[in-house]
Copies of this chain bind each other. A is one copy, B any other.
């Protein structure tokens, strides 16, 4: 199978760098083909702006969505964006690997999402009307592919537990797993999370590699997080709220998991 690993850490000799190298070797040893988008090494341009479209009219008002749509339709996207879209289409599975900085993606990886996820590619796909609000949340360009987060944090697991002060890790990752990965169609596997990154000795590192290797071996077997598809009847459209008879009374992120 084809695996795209999008990786965001500025230091190759970091724990993240070692885990990335481990994953590539492990997947290749199992016969998979791996491409790595090493965003810092690529000096990935993080900020979405008018220069992401080629040949725009000078001085024209820049509309992030409509300019993206036009450039995508007409093949006038910046080359770096088109290349990453090709990798996504090529991949059977996507891994996003990053340190959790301020409870979210590092800016360089957030900017990869913003720029690569063009209108017509990752959003604005399918009919948009009061009866069908796009092919998204379970449908879309990337449907049929799998995705998984590999995340490191400095804090303890308990700090991210159900009653931990940072909030539960599942909730912190929901806007990424549901809002960024499930949205354009990915089946999203449970994340692989490493805590207390400043306290990792040889023994702990090899334990982590063992567990990560297992997750990579199971990439095509692990059951995805059962997010509710938008267009299979659970939601009223166009309000896009859960139908009254679906988990009555339940609110919050978890209500969107079957």
Contact surface of A with B, Cβ cutoff 8 Å: 10-11, 13-14, 40, 44, 46-50, 61-65, 99, 101-108, 110-111, 113-114, 117, 137, 154-156, 158-159, 161-168, 171-172, 174-176, 178-180, 230, 235, 238-242, 250-256
**Which one, B64, B165, B176, B241, contacts A165 given CB within 8 A?**
B241
- Knowing A104-B175, A107-B48, A110-B104, the reply to whether A167 touches B256 (Cβ < 8 A) is yes
- Knowing A10-B50, A10-B62, A10-B64, the reply to whether A156 touches B252 (Cβ < 8 A) is no
CB <8 Å contact, A167 and B163? no
- Bound Cα distance A240, B155 (Å): 10
Contacts of A252 in B (CB 8 A): 162, 167-168, 171, 252, 254
CB <8 Å contact, A62 and B175? no
User: What is the copy number of this chain in the assembly?
Assistant: 2
Contacts of A162 in B (CB 8 A): 251-252
Chain B proximity of A180: nearest CB distance (Å): 5
Smallest CB-CB separation from A117: which chain B residue? Answer: B102
Smallest CB-CB separation from A62: which chain B residue? Answer: B11
**Which one, B64, B110, B240, contacts A156 given CB within 8 A?**
B240
**What are 27 of the A-B contact pairs (CB < 8 Å)?**
A11-B63, A40-B49, A46-B108, A46-B111, A47-B108, A64-B101, A65-B154, A101-B114, A102-B179, A103-B176, A104-B105, A104-B175, A106-B110, A107-B110, A107-B114, A137-B165, A156-B239, A162-B252, A163-B242, A163-B251, A163-B255, A164-B239, A166-B179, A167-B178, A168-B253, A171-B253, A252-B254
Contacts of A62 in B (CB 8 A): 10-11, 14
- Bound Cα distance A180, B108 (Å): 18
**Which one, B159, B179, B255, contacts A103 given CB within 8 A?**
B179
Chain B proximity of A42: nearest CB distance (Å): 11
CB <8 Å contact, A108 and B107? yes
Q: Top 6 closest A-B pairs, CB basis?
A: A107-B111, A46-B46, A103-B175, A103-B179, A162-B251, A107-B110
Contacts of A99 in B (CB 8 A): 64
